[in-house]
Amino acid sequence: MKGFRFAGIRAGIKKKDQKDLGLIYSDSPAVAAALFTRNKVVAAPVILGKEKIKKGLCRAVLVNSGNANCFTGKQGIEDAVFCSKIVAQSLHIPEDHVMVSSTGVIGAYLPMKKFETGIKEIVRHLSENCINDFADAILTTDTCRKIVNETNSIKGKPFSVIGIAKGSGMIRPDMATMLAFVLTDAKISSEDLKIILTAVNEKTFNRITVDGDTSTNDTLLALANGSSGALVNDSESRAVFHSVLEKVCMQLSKMIVKDGEGATKLVQIIVKGAKTKEDAFKASEAIAHSNLVKTAIYGEDPNWGRITAAAGRSGAYVVTEKMDLFFDGRPLVLKGNWLGPDAEKEIALIMKEKEIVITLDLNLGQETDSFWFCDFSENYVKINAEYRS
C-alpha cells in the first residue's frame, strides 16, 4: 500500500526466540480513529491512547507482544510515554503522532532497556515489504499471522484497506478486538472515519467470542493517510469505503475465532425471528458464550437442548413451542418439537465439518443477529494453564 511502512524484530521481550516488537509508519500524518476496551482494568497504552487519539492524527504505531503493561500503575504510564518519545525522536516526528500498544502477560513492568535498544533498531528495518514481520511480532498464543487486503475505487481512483490483527484467547471484545490495525490510503475526515469504524466494529469484532473474556488491552486503530487521492466525502463514497472496511474487519474477526486457543471448529449462530433487536442479540450472545454448547460442538454432538436452553436463559423473549432449529439449513427442531433420531443422525454428520452455521428461528418477529464463535477443547485449558510458565 502506498505511504505505509512496517517492521518487526526480536527485542528480547518474550522468553521465546520470536519477534516481539512491531512498528507501523505512515510517510505523512494520517487521520486516525480508535476504539478501546470497556474493561475497567485497562493497560497503560490504552490510557495513553485514549488521550492521544483525541487529536485525530497519528503517524507511527509501536506494538509489543509478551508484556501487556497492565496493572503497572504510574510506572507503566511513564514507560509507555517514554517508548513513544523514543519512537518520535528516532523518526523525527511529533510525539503526539505516536501511538503505542501492548499485549501479553498482565502485571509485569516493561523491560525498558530492551525497548530503548529495540526501538532504535526497528526504525532501520522499516519497509513497504515487511508487513509479515510486523504481523508476526504482535502475536501471543496465535498460531498464524492475520492480514487482510481489499481494494476498490471511488470515482475512478483506486484505494486499498489493509487490516492486521492478533487474537486467539481472551476474546470477547465488547468494543473492538484484542489488537487490530486497519490502514487505508483513502482520504477521509477523522469524524467520518470514527463513525464508519464504530458501525463496522459493531457488526464484526463485537460479534465474536472465543472464551467470553474481554482483554485489558483491546484496541482497534484505523489510519488513513490519503496517499491514493481517493476522496471519501459524500454518501456514495462513504458507502463504498464502509463496505470495504467491513469486509476487511469481518475477515479478520473470523480469522481470530478460527485461530481460537485450542479451537477445532468455526461456528456462526444466527438468531432470527426475534421480537426485538435486543432479544436477537441476547439470545445469539448467550448461545455463543455457552461452555456447554461449545463443548458439545467439540464433541460433534448436536445437543440441541443446550442451544435452546441458552436462548431461554438469555433474557430474550422466547416461546418454546415456536422455536425452529437448523444446522447448515437442515432442521432438527420445528415448532419446539425434536424431529427424532433419524434427523439427529443427519445433523451429526454436519457436526463433523470444520465450519458450521446454526440458525435458531424464534418465530416471534422480524429481528436478526448473529455471533461467530468456536468450540472448547482440552487444549484451551492446557494453553492457558501454561501461559505464564
Would you please indicate which residues are annotated as catalytic (active-site) residues?
177
- Kindly give, in sequence order, each residue whose CB lies less than 8 Å from that of residue 342, ignoring residues fewer than 6 positions away: none
Q: Is residue 105 within 8 Å of 388, Cβ to Cβ? A: yes
Closest CA to 261 of 202, 213, 303: 213
Strand duo 367-374 + 208-209: pairing: parallel
The residue ranges of DSSP E strands in the chain, in sequence order, are 4-9, 21-36, 57-67, 98-105, 146-154, 157-166, 179-184, 208-209, 219-224, 266-274, 324-327, 330-334, 337-338, 355-361, 367-374
* Single-letter amino acid code for the residue at 74: K
Q: Is residue 250 within 8 Å of 59, Cβ to Cβ? A: no
Which residues share a beta bridge with 148? 163
